[in-house]
Structure 1
Amino acid sequence: MSRSPVSHETRIVDQFTRWAKPFAELPIHADAESMAQTVSACSVTKGMKVLDVACGPGIVACGLALTGADVTGVDLTPAMIEQARLRARKAGVSVKYQIGNAQHLPFEADSFDRVVTRYSFHHMQEPSEILAEMVRVCRPDGRIIVIDATPTPDCQAHYDLAETLRDRSHTSALTLQQLLLMGTDAGLFPLETQQYRLESRLQDQVAPEDWSALKAMFVEDIASGQDRLGLGAWNAEDGIHFYFPISIVVWRKNC
């Protein structure tokens, strides 16, 4: 008897159960400069109701809670919610966390002033459906903020190949143009777009069994001088370094 295919949701939970603690502790995820940009883009004030979708270990949720916002975080992976609750206790902030699926957010329509997700869309098979759910639970005139890696069109295929090797739950990283069009299709009004690069060391971002193949891909890309991965990779004394190309897109939900 053949085995049933593994669902994508199971793949996500398996990946992030395994990586929950290392992911939570990796310094780049709490990088001060990118966090400041994230908090600024969300433009929250004390008492605002904020939802962090696919919140992971609660880094963004806790950062927003420090402003006095009323923050809720939802994630598919129980191990990530455990890390998020631990982070909130250490930070001395109150965040309501719960396990939930971004495709079917367990909240009423028009419930939140701000709805944000960071580094999640590239894990989603149908990111437009996630965005539609974010729109549904956001109140009219509220803000929706999506933050994710956005490779250039000419590098997208190579970028996805490298990311899939590094992370089996990766689907495809949207280009900035694709992300903006998705917002237009959802009837959202664009307010702001920012971009930044997040430096990482390759060996910090890959499981040991995938290291050789991924390293070979990066070595070849560096040697070619063409940057086909779109990651600007280079050799440093402590290994291969590269940049994640990140975009922040902010929309307003129309009345």
Structure 2
Amino acid sequence: MSIASHNQRIVDQFTRWAKPFSELPIHAESGAMTRTLEACALKSELDVLDVACGPGILACALAPHVRTVTGIDITAAMIEQARARQGKAGLQNLEWHIGDAVALPFETGSFDRVTTRYSFHHMPEPAAALAEMKRVCRPNGRIIVIDATPSPETQFAYDEMERLRDPSHASALTLDQLREIGREAGLGEVIIDAYRLEAQLETLAEASDMPALTTIFDADIASGEDRIGVAAWHSPTGIRFHFPISIIAWEPRSVGG
């Protein structure tokens, strides 16, 4: 599949899911958000860019702590949700753009912090997106990526499950793979953190996909081997599991660079 076709798949998927996606409690979970904001090392004089900002959940959480926040996403329906979230929160220091993460429409060195959350696994070229994030980040700034990072042993099964649940999923990088594209981009690691994000399967998938997903999860739970790497279990409300999430914060210059 071409990159253009995959990007259209992203737009189609998140146009359908824009409103329910924006309302899912999992995306604003307080513990995860606290760790993310801490990794950003925010100050009141900073200008922040949130790449693939979706419905503006992270951007609106950043805004009270900094001078300005700019959000950009490839899906117009997500930007509509972001504007609505901003309005409900009464925030004034945000602006929104529709655009591609691998061709950011901003001048080099425009931002002090450049973030992206839960997006790299959708991108056919995450390294290209990271290079763009580096380009628009100021030399003394910080780049922060938060995403699912399955283990090497579970990566293949995890990706198979995710592509069935979400057709816009490309591939989730392992933590080592994510660190490697940072090194290749000439970035210096500042923080590595991790958390598990609890989810309920039925709230994250189309009803038409649930039979196949249920079969996959039931088999994984019955095996006791956790081949998908999400520690799934049956609860009274349905199938629950944990996304394995990593946070990496980099400086634009490698150590000694």
Alignment TM-score, normalising by the size of structure 1 = 0.97
* In structure 2, distance between residues paired with 1:5 and 1:37: 32
1:216-245 CA deviation, whole Å, 9 max, x = no partner?
Answer: 100000000000000000000010100000
Secondary structure at 1:9's aligned position in 2? helix
Query: 1: CA distance between counterparts of 2:234 and 2:178?
Result: 31
Cα distance in 1, alignment partners of residues 90 and 4 from structure 2 = 38
Structure 1's 138 and 6: CA in aligned 2 closer, same or farther, altered over 3 A? closer
Alignment of 1:250 onto 2:254: no
Question: 1:151 maps to what in 2?
Answer: 150
**2:233 alignment partner in structure 1:** 234
CA distance 1:6–1:137, shift in 2 (3 Å) = closer
TM-fit CA distance, 1:6: 7.3
Q: SS where residue 105 of structure 1 aligns?
A: coil
Q: Residue 209 of structure 2 aligns to which amino acid in structure 1?
A: D
Aligned amino acid, residue 64 of structure 1: L
Aligned equivalent of 2:75: 77
Which residue number corresponds to residue 55 of structure 1? 53
SS of the residue aligned with 2:13? helix
In the alignment, does 2:171 pair up with 1:202?
no
The unaligned stretches of length 5 or more in structure 1 are: none
Deviation at 1:82, TM superposition (A): 0.3
Q: CA RMSD in A?
A: 1.3
Distance apart, 1:44 and its partner CA: 1.2
For residue 41 of structure 2, what is the aligned residue in structure 1? Answer: 43
Q: CA deviation at 1:34?
A: 0.5
For residues 204 and 220 of structure 2, what CA distance do their matches in structure 1 show?
A: 17
SS in 2 for 1:79: helix
Residue 104 of structure 1 aligns to a residue whose secondary structure is: coil
Query: Does the 8 Å CA contact 1:44/1:69 hold for their aligned counterparts?
Result: no
- Gaps of at least 5 residues in structure 2 are none
Aligned partner of residue 108 in structure 2, secondary structure: coil
Cα distance between partner residues in 2 of 1:109 and 1:13? 27
CA shift for structure 1 position 5: 10
Q: 1:18 aligns with which of 16, 19, 41?
A: 16
Q: What aligned pairs does 1:1-255 form with structure 2 within 5 A after superposition?
A: 7-94=5-92, 95-254=94-253
1: CA distance, partners of 2:176 / 2:248: 11
Deviation per residue, 1:143-189 (Å, 9 max, x gap): 00000000000000000000000000001000000000110000000
Count of aligned positions = 252
Residues 48 and 66, structure 2, Cα contact 8 Å, conserved in 1? no
